[in-house]
Structure 1
Amino acid sequence: MGMRINAELPLPADLKAEYPLSDKIIKIKEKRDAEIRDIFTGKSDKFIVIVGPCSADNEDAVCEYVNRLARVNEKVSDRLMIIPRIYTNKPRTTGEGYKGMLHQPDPDKAPDLLAGIIAIRKMHIRAIEETGLTAADEMLYPENRSYLDDILSYEAIGARSVENQQHRLTASGMNIPIGMKNPTSGDFLVMLNSVIAAQHSHSFIYRGMDVTTDGNDLAHVILRGGVDKYGTCNPNYHYEDLVRLLSLYQKMELKNPAAIIDANHSNSNKKFKEQIRITSEVLHSRSYNPELKKLIKGVMIESYLEEGNQKICPDMIYGKSITDPCLGWEDTERLIYEIAEKC
């Protein structure tokens, strides 16, 4: 095989023992997980806001951002469930370029996966310790999630991974909400088939073990827009798209129908400022149609300390995205207060 072993990585259980969760963090996560479950099962009408950098590339900047979110959360927690977006893996369309903190804890240095898995665990723990907010991450590599599965309160499966069988089966063994994005084609049925798979029990091989899962009743969809064969972005956050999704859900025997609307990616054509307008339209659609208000549980927004993005270089701006462009903090804070008023 054209493959060489660079290092043998620690087992997830060993890494967790070396960097354990305090009793305080365990209680915080239990409480937030229960609150989030109540939203997806319809017991709570709080609106979810999953918000944060496109990629979590710097521990200090990410934790400063989450601390700012926590201060806003104190004012809106009666209406919103704010879930920081701390994404430590980045899918690359061609496989080239920065793949996230898991691969490169220092973006301008060579990949170091051992340092990476330690860095992402420490960053997530620090964020909870400082703010009391448990976070969301993307399950880009199913086996890697075992290093964080005791920390996260929400996970997403991306557009490039949603058709992958290992992702679907692994999702069926989670006890937190897992959002299935529509594929890059925009196909709703592929996305919903992933939800069906995740909500059922399966037996398969996971990390060298024969496992059987219980099924995840909180598996749901994330609309992120699609791209046609000509490379044109086709958004799917409009009222007609949401009604179509509602109709499809009504025809399927799925538990806890729910959708999160990703305001960036192909919904905004990566025009990050459009996230403000898109979020406003989603809220209007919910207020117009009571059935949509039950279905649309929240939004996903890409935001960081500084707006826009930058290339990896020796003089990078602190708190500015090195992957997709993000809303800046001032716009984000105003948007969160607006969401709290309108949801």
Structure 2
Amino acid sequence: MTSSAPNHVAATGIENVNVTDFDPMPSPEETHARVPLSEPAARVVMRGREALRDILDRQDPRLFAVVGPCSIHDPAAGLDYARRLKKLADELADALLLVMRVYFEKPRTTTGWKGFINDPDMDDSFNVAKGMELARKFLRDVAEIGLPAGTEALDPISPQYLGDLVAWTAIGARTSESQTHREMASGLSTPVGFKNGTNGDVGIAVNAILSASRPHSFLGISGEGRTAIVRTRGNRHGHVVLRGGDGRPNYDTVSVRIAEQALTKAGLPANIVVDCSHANSYKDPELQALVLSDVVNQIRYGNTSLVGVMIESNLVGGNQPIPKNPALLRYGCSVTDACVDWDTTERMLRDAAAVLRAVRPQRIQ
């Protein structure tokens, strides 16, 4: 005779074998309540998204530039940078749409500091709840300064906490091929740039754009922090980001033409952004100026597919290791990839704007 009662197997030694703790995390709604979206910030975010969509739809002839630190680790220095960038954005607004690069999550090949959200105190305390709230506050502060922000979506839960403060999103080279990130991108409220693979394969990004443009249903969380089935309508403003690969650049005219052909063959708009850093600059931050100059010259000679660039820039050039005592960090200097300094950033963008103003009429269709 068998029992009709369910057979409960003891969980000990079966599940969560390698998990040590489940620390509670405030829900997205609770975090929003602690750091509410102000009306001025909302207006800046919405205007930024609209301007980016207009550029991608060829309703705005400007080039957009996602400019800023490789990663945010010091909010004070980050806001110092934002105020400077806002002044430059106003000065160059007829030729360039400047979007501040605000990256809080850093993918790692092996180990290393995973970013401000994961470890805001940079001491391996991993106070993620604190990091998320401070990240949201920083994004709100940047918007209230008057700048739209661009970030990388790495953790699929983070957009529920931060998405209302973001104008442009990148999906990185390591995650463009990920089904999870393609599904997430299909529901994001921003235009999304998909980077080519780390090996330089543009087809990965093209396939990602196609996938994200379609509706999806997948597991996620709701604003209340409950597990939910997320259903999306698809995101039609996906585009390719060329970042080089396998130590070789891919921003030259031939590489851009190959990317255009791949997009056209897939039935997608030929919208291409060039990341001036990473393999495109051989990880030498000073070479970013040459990459930007080449991109602008391609536009001057008639290219219409190049719609944006990315630049890693900070108050101080180069980068620095993270010391055991974070108080010893050099102000305004990157702790991840090396960046160009502020003076170089101003010069790069002013030079680009001077060229773009001259060709603006021919880019209006």
Query: So what's the TM-score if we normalise by structure 2?
Result: 0.89
The equivalences for 1:48-197 within 5 A come to: 48-94=64-110, 96-129=111-144, 131-197=145-211
The residue number in structure 1 matching 2:216 is 202
Q: Distance in 2 between matches of 1:250 and 1:30?
A: 29
Contact 1:50 1:300 in 2 (8 A): yes
What per-residue deviation string (whole Å, max 9, x for no partner) do you get for residues 271-307 of structure 1?
A: 010000011011112222x3x32x1111100000000
The residue number in structure 2 matching 1:342 is 355
Q: Flag the structure with larger Rg.
A: 2
Contact 2:163 2:189 in 1 (8 A): no
The residue number in structure 2 matching 1:32 is 48
What is the Cα deviation at residue 110 of structure 1?
2.2
Q: Distance in 1 between matches of 2:115 and 2:321?
A: 14
What per-residue deviation string (whole Å, max 9, x for no partner) do you get for residues 156-202 of structure 1?
A: 01111111101001100112111100110111111100010011111
Q: Distance in 2 between matches of 1:148 and 1:139?
A: 10
What secondary structure does 1:118 align onto? helix
Contact 1:47 1:80 in 2 (8 A): yes
What secondary structure does 2:182 align onto? helix
The residue number in structure 2 matching 1:45 is 61
What secondary structure does 1:205 align onto? strand
Q: CA RMSD in A?
A: 1.1
- Aligned: 1:224 with 2:238: no
The residue number in structure 1 matching 2:293 is 280
- Aligned: 1:264 with 2:274: no
1:310 to 313, 316, 320: 320
Q: Distance in 2 between matches of 1:121 and 1:206?
A: 20
Contact 2:316 2:341 in 1 (8 A): yes
2:184 counterpart letter in structure 1 = T
Which portions of structure 1, spanning 4 or more consecutive aligned residues, are displaced by more than 6 angstroms?
Answer: none
1:251 counterpart letter in structure 2 = K
Identity within the alignment, %: 35
Deviates more, 1:116-125 or 1:105-114: 105-114
Give the unaligned 5+ runs of structure 1.
228-232
Contact 2:62 2:97 in 1 (8 A): yes
Query: So what's the TM-score if we normalise by structure 1?
Result: 0.94
What secondary structure does 2:67 align onto? strand
